[in-house]
Structure 1
Amino acid sequence: MNLGNICQQLDETKKALEHTLKSLELKPKNPNALLNLGIIFQHLEEPGKALDSTRNR
């Protein structure tokens, strides 16, 4: 489990996004972080960004 996931479980989606983006700065091809990023964008009702987050990596 990571901090982004914990924030997501606590319904702190914006914090989850921040932590997940930081994780991707450290390891850009991390498949778990990329999946989490897509899920976060879905929760933020941004399906286009959810798709882009996995296509552009």
Structure 2
Amino acid sequence: MRPKLAFPGMVRVPGRAARSSVACLAFVLVLAAAFWAGVVWVAASLLTLFSGGY
């Protein structure tokens, strides 16, 4: 017998949870890489600006 859900909607399929977790982790890693690439770019731009362009 299916348990009553607190919120109506689809019941999760056990196999999808692992794929969803891996996809979420990959997305977070891409965001982190983009963030640090931006930090490096801003730092390099500021160093170039304050060093007189050399």
Same fold (TM over 0.5): no
- Identify which of structures 1 and 2 has the higher relative contact order when contacts are C-alpha pairs closer than 8 Å and 6+ apart: 1
Task: Name the larger-Rg structure.
Answer: 2
* Normalised TM-score (structure 2): 0.30
